[in-house]
Amino acid sequence: MKKIAKQTYIALAGLSVLMGTVSASAGPEEDRLKLVAHFKNKFPDLKFDDYIYSALAFDPDAKAQYNSIMEFPPYTSELDKGAKLWKTPLKSGKTYADCLPNGGKMIAGNYPIFDDAKGKVVTLEDTINDCRVANGEEAYQIGDDKTLGLISAYMRTLSDGMKMNIKVEGAGALKAYEDGKRTFYGRVGQLNFSCGNCHVDNAGVRIRSELLSPVIGQATHWPAFRGGDKLTTLQERYKGCQYDVRHTPDKPGSTRYNNLEYFHSYLSNGLEMKASVFRK
Amino acid sequence: MRKRASIITGVIATLLASSAYAVETGKDIAFNRSKGNCLACHSMPTLPDAEQPGESGPPLIAMLARFPDRAVLRAKIWDATATNSGSFMPPMGKHQVLTEAEIDKVVDFLYGL
């Protein structure tokens, strides 16, 4: 009898561990699928793959303009600068390509990752900096458009066509994801908006003459070159959004922004990356 | 010298009192992007110069029929989330986007739509 009780206990314990694992990994995917269904219901004619075009997907005229601009992008010389930085050997004699998995190609869609050893979210920019430090250079400032921004802009083009594939595995990763989710859905600023108010509830709706983009697909195309050749990273865009709702923005690279980027990027899983692109 | 300074101060004060601040109408406040910015979300179908309105909020029309009680309309502007927690509308009074006097002017303006 005692033995049966013990076995039952072990079985129950095993079941709860299993369930714990299932719910931990099902949370983010449930969130993502719920949003995909929300948009599918709201915009039945819009194909899933078209979400990479963000607001342009809702506006054929703007999309046609975008297509013609992208034939001869106005930011090519900026990308060339990024390519030069990318190819310049570091102090150790190694290059970024030597330092990163797969020579840095077709990997950008895996980032941000949650690094269990560091206990935090690591962005692609962080990884480039880690590479620098490991090879005798100083880390660049996160948010420095002239260095890290240009390198990441070029490097992400090496992953064009890769499907976003963010992974949230383990308790630490889930905690960071949930923190990003709280930031996304929390109403802030004098104007009292959450990211979700605009980019979930009002996606596809015009605010004055501007169409609000849906959250799905947003993370696939950064940095964007806005208005021609002004490099804007995803986290700089977060700053812009927080400024617009009259909230105090963070500096790029803050824990809050990194966790937000982690959550936000997860929601674009399954969509193709296209860097770098023109946005007005 | 002191007398002249006080005259100048007086003149400036009078000018300020009679300039933009004093004559800012409810419509000015509603249209101003850094104040009411109502057009970001609401159309005003009876106003030809309410161009390129947003579409997130309901059109602002027939306000007297829809809000016979002035206090209800004013409260909506002051903090729409008080009666509808899911409302996207910024709490204009609660978060001091507008002053109490500015809200009163906007309410007057809305009843003319």
Q: What are the residues facing A226 on neighbouring strands?
A: A230, A279
Q: Which residues of A touch B56 (CB under 8 A)?
A: 202, 205-207
Strands of A117-215 (E only): list them: 120-122, 206-207, 210-211
Tokens of A52: 């990479």
Confirm if A192 and B90 have CB atoms less than 8 A apart: yes
Contact A193 B96 (CB under 8 A): no
| Residues of chain B neighbouring A190 (CB-CB closer than 8 A) | 90, 95-97
No. of helices (H) and no. of strands (E), chain B = 6, 0
Judging by DSSP bridges, how do beta strands A210-211 and A206-207 pair with one another?
Answer: antiparallel
Task: Name the average pLDDT for chain B.
Answer: 89
B81 and A192 within 8 Å at the Cβ level: the answer is: yes
Reported as half-sphere exposure (CB side, CA atoms, 13 A), residue A271 has a value of: 26
Contacts across the A-B interface (CB distance below 8 Å): 33
Q: Which CATH architecture has domain A28-280?
A: Orthogonal Bundle (1.10)
Q: CA A133, A138, A139, A140 torsion: positive or negative?
A: negative
Domain boundaries defined on chain B: 25-111
CB contact under 8 A, B53 and A205: no
CB pair distance less than 8 Å for A191 and B55? no
Per residue of chain A (280 residues), give pLDDT as tens: 444 445 545 444 444 444 444 444 459 999 999 999 999 999 999 999 999 999 999 999 999 999 999 999 999 999 999 999 999 999 999 999 999 999 999 999 999 999 999 999 999 999 999 999 999 999 999 989 999 999 999 999 999 999 999 999 999 999 999 999 999 999 999 999 999 999 999 999 999 999 999 999 999 999 999 988 899 999 999 999 999 999 999 999 999 999 999 999 999 999 999 988 899 8
Contact between A252 and A143 (Cβ < 8 Å):
yes
User: Lowest-pLDDT range, A29-38, A223-232, B8-17, B74-83?
Assistant: B8-17
Amino acid type, A241: C
Every domain of chain A and the residues it spans:
28-280
φ/ψ of A154, rounded to 5, equals -70, -45
Task: Indicate which residue of A99, A195, A198, A241 is catalytic.
Answer: A241
B95 vs A192, A202, A205: nearest CB: A192
Q: Is B8 helix (H, G, I), strand (E, B) or coil?
A: helix
Long-range contacts of A116-124 (CB under 8 A, 24+ apart): A116/A170, A116/A172, A116/A173, A119/A172, A120/A176, A120/A255, A120/A258, A121/A176, A121/A255, A121/A258, A121/A259, A121/A261, A121/A262, A122/A258, A123/A253, A123/A258, A123/A261, A124/A152, A124/A155, A124/A156
Distance from CA of A194 to the nearest CA of B (A): 9
Q: Do A208 and B55 touch (CB under 8 A)?
A: no
Enclosing H/E stretch for A17:
helix A2-42
Q: For residue A197, which residues of chain B lie inside 8 Å, CB to CB?
A: 88
Nearest residue, CB atoms, B90 vs list A192, A202, A206: A192
The closest CB to that of A207, out of B41, B81, B90, belongs to: B41
Which chain B residues are within 8 Å of A193, Cβ to Cβ? 88, 90
Edge to edge, what strands does the sheet with A230-232 contain?
A: A230-232, A224-226, A277-279
Residue A241 annotated among the catalytic residues of the structure: yes
Superfamily of domain B25-111: Cytochrome c-like domain (1.10.760.10)
Taking the C-alpha atoms of residue A217 and residue A219, their distance in angstroms, rounded to an integer, is 6
Residues of chain B positioned with their CB less than 8 A from the CB of A58:
none
Cβ contact A123:A76 at 8 Å: no
Beta partners for A200?
A: none
Between the two ends of chain B, the Cα-to-Cα distance in Å is 52
Distance CA B18, CA B2 (A): 24
The β-bridge relationship of strands A224-226 and A230-232 is antiparallel
How far away is chain A from the Cα of B112, in angstroms, using its nearest Cα?
Answer: 22
Q: Please give the residue of chain B at the shortest CA–CA distance from A195.
A: B88
The arithmetic mean of pLDDT across residues B14-37, rounded, is: 80
